[in-house]
């Protein structure tokens, strides 16, 4: 498989190079040169195929010969090492729980696949690969946890001091080993600016292999197709496929679902559920992207004004807005309705939604037509947002066992002054 840059000014590359580079040299996102189609027998008999085999069938065409078959199968197995159950909450509404991974969020799936691909590719390099990320909370934990102990990799996570929750801080800073947690006495934007400066530092990049592990990397994007296939495997009865509602921020998650639809996934309708950051709903309505700054909301992982992966969805639909609207409905849900949804679903069904999942539930209710059934993708465990959830349900959210142990762990972070020189010399010392 070749990947071309959506900016059109860089050469096409294979899977390995696309993963190691992350972003094309012309700053475009990589996009697959062709989309594989899986035969009808695969989709019809999916309930009889085991998960690893499904993962391998979906991803092998995208990986090509960049990984040996046994290696790709091992990576798929390690990516799918936690349950992804569908819970039927009402007759009309079900939830696909994607939050049973080590950091309790769906990002664990993409990050695990990416880390293992990079670990494999790093074997042939004479140096370790340095993964550098700035985080406002969630991404840092998923990346740190996924790369922890992967040979040939060093992970550097910058986080703003005092701005991440105790659980998030431990997910980033309790690991040690090849995970270097740097606490910066500044806000997230400053952390992000330091990281961007490192990526723009050509001289530094000649000396170390620096990679970003962010959500535009194809090895984070493509494996997200797997849980759509596994949802279809579990869905019964198969005659009435659900409308799938996806809490959307950067649009990588829903983009992966729409990509798998091209490979034959029999799920005809998707909902891009947004919070007050409604660039895509506005675009689908008017054909124009509003120019607004991101607004802070309760579903903060979706507070994105300019969703970077949406360009992949437009490419998938040949930049034809009307074609896209046949498949995709887009909704907006404000904080008040998010809270009311958490409260109502708890009172009526005793099911606890996190704020991101509540946005997707509410969006689906706005657009679900009579006779349709809905499937809500749940991207985070409610315990990650204890305050708003307990305010609406009146009950504390119990910690899962995995997190309880974490809270007793000592932190191993180092303080980093908010200066690029300090970050640069630290990075050079790692190799
Ligand atoms: C990252 C994230 C999202 C948004 O996913 P995208 O792929 O960026 O659209 C939604 N919910 C949670 C909990 C997240 O962490």
Q: Reduced to 3 states, what is the DSSP secondary structure of residue 130? A: strand
- Mean predicted lDDT score pLDDT of the chain: 94
Contact between 382 and 354 under an 8 Å Cβ cutoff? The reply is yes
The pair of structure tokens assigned to 281 is 């709903």
Q: How far is the CA of 248 from the centre of ligand 1 (A)?
A: 6
Strands (E), 264-363: 270-274, 328-332
Cis peptide before 225 (omega within 30 of 0): no
Which protein residue's CA is at the shortest distance from atom 8 of ligand 1?
250
294 to 203, 302, 377, 379: CA distances (angstroms): 33, 9, 23, 20
Report, as an integer, the average pLDDT of 5-21: 95
137 has pLDDT over 80: no
Tokens standing for residue 255: 């983009």
Provide, rounded to the nearest whole percent, the portion of the chain with pLDDT above 90.
Answer: 80
Q: What are the b/e assignments for 273-290, b being 16+ CB within 10 Å? A: bbbbbbbbbbbbeeeeee
Express each pLDDT in 386-395 by its tens digit. Answer: 899 999 999 9
For ligand 1, the distance from its centroid to the CA atom of residue 206, given in whole angstroms, is 32
Return the closest-CA partner of residue 253 out of 283, 212, 223: 223
Please compute the mean of the pLDDT values over residues 10-27 and round it to a whole number.
Answer: 93
> Does the reported pTM lie above 0.85?
yes
Which residues fall within 8 angstroms of residue 292, CB to CB, at 6 or more apart? Answer: 277, 279, 305
The angle, 0 to 180 degrees and rounded to 10, between the axes of the packed helices 107-122 and 138-147 is: 40
34, burial (CB in 10 Å: exposed 0-12, middle 13-18, buried 19+): exposed
Rounded to the nearest angstrom, the distance between the alpha carbon of 34 and the centre of ligand 1 is 26
The whole-number average pLDDT for the span 102-106 is 92
The gap from C-alpha 413 to its chain's centroid, in whole angstroms, comes to 25
Mean pLDDT of 294-317: 93
Sheet hosting strand 129-134, strand order edge to edge: 209-211, 129-134, 153-160, 179-184, 414-416
Report pLDDT digits (tens) over 142-181: 999 999 999 999 999 999 998 888 888 999 999 999 999 9
Q: What is the pLDDT of residues 395-415, one digit of tens each?
A: 998 888 877 788 888 999 999
Q: Please tell me if the CB atom of residue 107 comes closer than 6 angstroms to any atom of ligand 1.
A: yes
255 lines ligand 1 (CB under 6 A): no
Query: Mean pLDDT, to the nearest integer, of 301-313?
Result: 93
pLDDT (0 to 100) of residue 23 = 87
What pLDDT, in 10s, does the model give residues 257-291? 999 999 999 999 999 999 999 999 999 999 999 98
**pLDDT tops 80 at residue 253:** yes
Q: For atom 2 of ligand 1, which residue has the closest CA?
A: 301
Is residue 136 within 8 Å of residue 157, measured between CB atoms?
no
Q: Is the CB of 220 under 6 A from ligand 1?
A: no
How do residues 35-66 score in pLDDT, each as one tens digit?
A: 999 999 999 999 999 999 999 999 999 999 99
Answer whether residue 431 shows pLDDT above 80.
no
User: 249 C-alpha vs ligand 1 centroid, how far in Å?
Assistant: 5
User: Do the beta carbons of residue 167 and residue 407 sit within 8 Å?
Assistant: yes
**pLDDT at 211 > cutoff 90:** no
pLDDT bucket at 326, cuts 50 / 70 / 90: very high
pLDDT at 212: 82
């Amino acid at each position: 498989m070749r990947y071309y840059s959506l900016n059109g000014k860089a050469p096409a590359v294979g899977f390995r190079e696309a993963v190691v580079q992350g972003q094309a040299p012309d700053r475009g996102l990589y996009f697959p040169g062709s989309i594989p189609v899986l035969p009808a027998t695969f989709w019809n008999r999916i309930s009889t195929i085991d998960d690893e085999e499904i993962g391998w069938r979906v991803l092998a065409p995208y990986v090509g010969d960049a990984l040996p078959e046994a290696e790709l199968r091992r990576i798929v197995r390690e990516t799918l090492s936690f349950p992804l159950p569908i819970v039927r909450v009402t007759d009309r509404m079900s939830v696909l729980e994607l939050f049973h991974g080590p950091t309790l969020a769906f990002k664990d799936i993409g990050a695990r696949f990416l880390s293992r691909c990079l670990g494999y590719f790093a074997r042939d390099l004479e140096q370790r690969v340095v993964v550098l990320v700035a985080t406002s909370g969630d991404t840092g934990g998923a990346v740190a946890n996924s790369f922890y102990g992967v040979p040939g990799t060093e992970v550097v996570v910058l986080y703003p001091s005092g701005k991440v929750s105790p659980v998030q801080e431990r997910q980033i800073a309790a690991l040690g080993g090849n995970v270097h947690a740097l606490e910066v006495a500044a806000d997230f934007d400053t952390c992000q600016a330091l990281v961007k400066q490192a990526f723009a530092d050509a001289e530094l990049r000649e000396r170390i292999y620096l990679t970003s592990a962010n959500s535009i990397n194809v090895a984070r994007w493509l494996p997200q197709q797997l849980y759509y296939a596994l949802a279809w495997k579990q869905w019964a009865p198969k005659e009435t496929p659900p409308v799938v509602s996806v809490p959307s921020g950067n649009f990588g998650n829903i983009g992966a679902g729409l990509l798998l639809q091209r490979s034959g996934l029999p799920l005809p309708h998707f909902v891009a559920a947004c919070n007050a950051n409604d660039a895509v709903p506005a675009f689908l309505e008017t054909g124009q992207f509003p120019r607004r700054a991101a607004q802070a909301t309760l579903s903060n992982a979706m507070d994105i004004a300019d969703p970077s992966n949406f360009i992949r969805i437009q490419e998938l639909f040949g930049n034809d807005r009307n074609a896209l609207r046949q498949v995709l409905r887009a909704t907006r849900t404000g904080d008040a309705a998010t809270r009311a949804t958490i409260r109502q679903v708890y009172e009526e069904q005793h099911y606890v939604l996190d704020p991101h999942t509540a946005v997707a539930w509410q969006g689906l209710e706005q657009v679900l037509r009579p006779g349709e059934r809905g499937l809500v993708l749940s991207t985070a465990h409610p315990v990650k947002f204890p305050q708003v959830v307990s305010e609406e349900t009146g009950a504390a959210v119990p910690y899962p066992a995995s997190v309880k142990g974490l809270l007793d762990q000592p932190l191993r972070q180092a303080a980093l002054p908010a200066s690029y020189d300090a970050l640069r010399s630290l990075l050079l010392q790692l190799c």
